[in-house]
Amino acid sequence: MHWRTRLVQPQALAPADFKSLTVPTHRASTVLFERQADVRDGWRQDEHGYTYGVYGTPTALELGARIAQLEKAHHTFVVPGGQAAIALVYLALGRAGSHVLVPHSAYGPNLKLARGMLERFGVTIEGYDPLIGAGIADLIRADTALVWTESPGSVTMEIQDVPAICAAAHARGVPVALDNTYAAGVLFDAFAHGVDISIQALTKYVGGHSDLLLGTVSVATAELKTRLGDAHQQLGLAVSPDDCTLALRGLQTLALRLDHLERATLEIARWLREQPQIEAVYHPALPGSPGHEIWARDFTGSASVFSILFKPDYDAARVAGFIDALQLFRIGMSWGGVTSLALSYPELKRPHRDYAGRLVRLNIGLEAVDELIADLAQALARV
Ligand SMILES: *Cc1c(COP(=O)(O)O)cnc(C)c1O
């Protein structure tokens, strides 16, 4: 062969039979077939083999299979991020003229998508009180296509009675989706509690180092696998195998990180509860936090993110001063990494509650706990 041809038609030269502990990073758009008769364009690799890179290389499928095993799901799809996971569920199950219930405490961009693009496509979105429990039955209509849940809720941390919501929805034949990001797919057994679809932002705990964006959609049944898989193919939600490799590495230390983060976060949350500037600490494992009793019944642990509410004599500007005074806590979105973060929400309101800019969300990282407490103490003293 001419060297030009050989450059693009190489034979494998390295010795075969390499064994290591890592999953190979397979990068590919083109997937090769042996014969023309074998050519397919399908996403069901278990039936007809691999067909195209968009539907995942073995690296993405290994990650999906491991998440499915952890969550005890029928099947897991890997998507480009948590928000893409939410979009996939909505676009697979929603239809023009249908009705979808979303808790007021849902992740902000989720609400934006529901009230934006979905309503534009003719889906009616109805918000509901995250603590409604079995009362959701009164909101389910003949045209309800989906009940969304997220537990705990973003920023305000309400734990939902997911089993009661599932029972009420299933009695009317309506599927329930859960944003299970807080539980990292392991602290809350979504499918055992009745959920039909569990999504996660792997960006948070599975990635664990603030350096990748990925999400998963896990389903309970073969029927949902088909509906979600067809929508996944139509939307072309391709993921980077390099990111999948990072997520696979993150899984290896997930248990250790979660154990440490739970202890450190509880210690800091309990300390904050004693401070005179703080009116409330919203941490699901602390009594008084909304839905705490349900957390104690349904969860096997708590994670690294929680919120604090300053007393009414602190306005949004003073709370911003507190955030700016922090030295170790950095200011930024996302959570579940190794670095402690703080963020206030000056605009955040719920239908029956105005937090008046006094709410701060903290993410605890892997720094020394007494130094994090000292940082919070000096910032509190300054405001
Ligand atoms: C971060 C987050 C998402 C979105 O994940 P991305 O990977 O950032 O798109 C979805 N749900 C919850 C609860 C989150 O915290």
- CA dist., res. 70 & res. 40, Å (int): 31
At 147 the pLDDT is 98
Tell me the CA end-to-end span of the chain in Å, nearest whole number.
75
Paired with 52 in beta bridges are 30
pLDDT tens digits, residue range 225-261? 999 999 999 999 999 999 999 999 999 999 999 999 9
CA torsion, ordered 199, 203, 206, 211, to nearest 10 deg? 170
Q: Which helix (H) or strand (E) holds 324?
A: helix 316-325
At 108 the pLDDT is 96
At 352 the pLDDT is 82
- CA dist., res. 116 & res. 120, Å (int): 6
Count CB neighbours of 101 within 10 A.
25
Per-residue pLDDT tens, the chain, 383 aa: give them: 999 999 999 888 999 999 999 999 999 999 999 999 999 999 999 999 999 999 999 999 999 999 999 999 999 999 999 999 999 999 999 999 999 999 999 999 999 999 999 999 999 999 999 999 999 999 999 999 999 999 999 999 999 999 999 999 999 999 999 999 999 999 999 999 999 999 999 999 999 999 999 999 999 999 999 999 999 999 999 999 999 999 999 999 999 999 999 999 999 999 999 999 999 999 999 999 999 999 999 999 999 999 999 999 999 999 999 999 999 999 999 999 999 999 999 999 899 889 999 999 999 999 999 999 999 999 999 99
Which residue's alpha carbon is nearest to atom 6 within ligand 1? 82
CB-based contacts of 302, cutoff 8 Å, min separation 6: 187, 262, 265, 266, 283, 284, 285, 295
Distance (angstroms) between ligand 1 centre and the Cα of 31 equals 31
- CA dist., res. 113 & res. 374, Å (int): 39
pLDDT tens digits, residue range 50-89? 999 999 999 999 999 999 999 999 999 999 999 999 999 9
Q: Can you read off the two tokens belonging to residue 75? A: 């099947």
Distance (angstroms) between ligand 1 centre and the Cα of 88 equals 13
- Strand locations in the chain (E): 75-79, 99-103, 124-128, 144-150, 176-179, 197-201, 215-219, 278-282, 305-310, 330-331, 341-344, 349-350, 353-354, 359-363
Q: Is the CB of 213 under 6 A from ligand 1?
A: yes
Q: Count Cα neighbours of 22 within 13 Å in the Cβ-side half-sphere.
A: 10
Of 180, 205, 334, the one to substitute when testing ligand 1's pocket (max ligand atoms within 8 A of C-beta) is: 334
